[in-house]
């Protein structure tokens, strides 16, 4: 069974540029999460989807961040415009059970560097 | 909100036993999870405790005391490949959009030395 797939793995951009990250969750997992992880810190939830509905986006900086999950499968996270402080690893995760369940499966992440 | 405390670094000898503690403050507590993350890798699930007591999975065990808001991860027969960061994560919330949110601690970097 394939795991959570993310692309790109690495992205370097200049500040004020837009950037997008893509995630394909494990087949059959209806719940999808986007996390941000800074160096030496734990993952922090940005947004959680149940199918195509964003059920928790309270931590998403909506002035510059947006996300979508069309058809309830793949998801895209966008930043526009990027700022220096956005440099971090963006992790996507999915779970089988609704509302988180007990186990989340993480992708390898996209390491974003904003210059 | 939630807050979690765990040691930032732990060093242990190969073959030994190490315990990583986690204390938390939260409302609407459901359970405590542990995740392992190697440098540059994805976090991977290790265990979940919803009830008081010890859960054992191979060389790894996890303990929870709900009354003390405390848990720990116990790693036995340490191997070099166990060198990684270990995160405790609280599952908490209330019914509604914020239910069952998973909040991670800052992680404990475990170094296993020969």
C-alpha span between A68 and A84 (Å, rounded): 23
Confidence band (pLDDT; 50, 70, 90) for B87? very high
Confidence band (pLDDT; 50, 70, 90) for A99? low
pLDDT attached to residue B98: 47
A109 touches chain B (CB under 8 A): yes
Chain A residues lying within 8 Å of B29, measured CB to CB: none
Tens digits of residue pLDDT in B30-43: 899 999 999 999 99
Q: Which residues of B68-95 are buried (b: 16+ CB within 10 A; e: fewer)?
A: ebebbbebeebeeebbbbbbbbbbbbee
Taking CA atoms, what residue in A is nearest to B103? A44
pLDDT attached to residue B97: 46
Tens digits of residue pLDDT in A36-53: 999 999 999 999 998 899
CA nearest to B60, candidates B24, B19, B32:
B19
A55 touches chain B (CB under 8 A): yes
Query: Which tokens sit at A90?
Result: 């963006």
- Give how far the C-alpha of residue A54 lies from the chain's centroid of Cα atoms, to the nearest Å: 12
Residue with tokens 């116990």: B74
CA distance B19 to chain A (A): 19
Facing residue for A56 by CB, picked from B43, B97, B105: B97
């Amino acid at each position: 069974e394939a795991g959570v797939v993310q692309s790109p793995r690495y992205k370097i951009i200049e500040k004020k540029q837009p950037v997008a990250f893509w995630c394909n969750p494990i087949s059959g997992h209806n719940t999808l999460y986007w996390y941000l992880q800074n160096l030496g810190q734990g993952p922090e939830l940005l947004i959680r989807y149940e199918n195509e509905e964003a059920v928790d986006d309270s931590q998403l900086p909506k002035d510059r961040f947006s996300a979508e999950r069309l058809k309830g499968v793949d998801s895209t996270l966008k930043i526009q415009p990027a700022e220096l402080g956005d440099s971090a690893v963006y992790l996507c995760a999915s779970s089988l059970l609704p509302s988180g369940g007990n186990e989340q499966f993480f992708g390898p992440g996209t390491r974003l560097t904003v210059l | 909100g939630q807050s979690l405390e765990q040691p930032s670094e732990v060093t242990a000898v190969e073959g030994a036993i190490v315990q990583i503690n986690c204390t938390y403050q939260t409302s609407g507590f459901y359970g405590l999870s542990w995740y392992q993350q190697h440098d540059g890798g994805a976090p991977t699930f290790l265990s979940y405790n919803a009830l008081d007591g010890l859960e054992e999975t191979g060389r790894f065990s996890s303990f929870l005391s709900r009354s003390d808001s405390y848990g720990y991860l116990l790693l036995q027969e340490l191997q070099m490949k166990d060198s990684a960061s270990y995160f405790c994560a609280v599952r908490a919330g209330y019914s509604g959009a914020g239910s069952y949110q998973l909040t991670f601690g800052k992680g404990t970097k475990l170094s296993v030395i020969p």
